[in-house]
Amino acid sequence: MARFVLYHTDGCHLCEQAYSLALQTLSASDIEQVDITSNEALMQSYQATIPVFERKSDHVKLSWPFELSQIQQLVE
């Protein structure tokens, strides 16, 4: 089961960068990718800040721009 969520939109090059960063620390199965365009509430929350990387256990979030070291801290 995925422990993290990456909020994104299709075709977002920053979102692709964020996913690549996350994959340097996590496996793909640890990351649930959620396209915010499928949900109006998510669009309202994240459209100006995607990509957003969230730890599911306590809902701590990183909004772009973030670095590999920040993801690693979130994973620990």
Residue 42 CB contacts under 8 Å (≥ 6 apart), including other chains: 7, 34, 36
Q: Which residues pair with 52 in a beta bridge?
A: 7, 63
> Which residue, 24, 39, 33, is CA-closest to 51?
33
Using a cut of 0.85, tell me whether the model's pTM lies above it: yes
pLDDT tens digits for range 24-49: 999 999 999 999 999 999 999 999 99
> Which domain covers residue 58, as residue numbers?
4-75
Total structural domains within the chain: 1
pLDDT tens digits for range 9-28: 999 999 999 999 999 999 99
User: Which CATH number belongs to the domain containing residue 57 in this structure?
Assistant: 3.40.30.10
pLDDT tens digits for range 47-66: 999 999 999 999 999 999 99
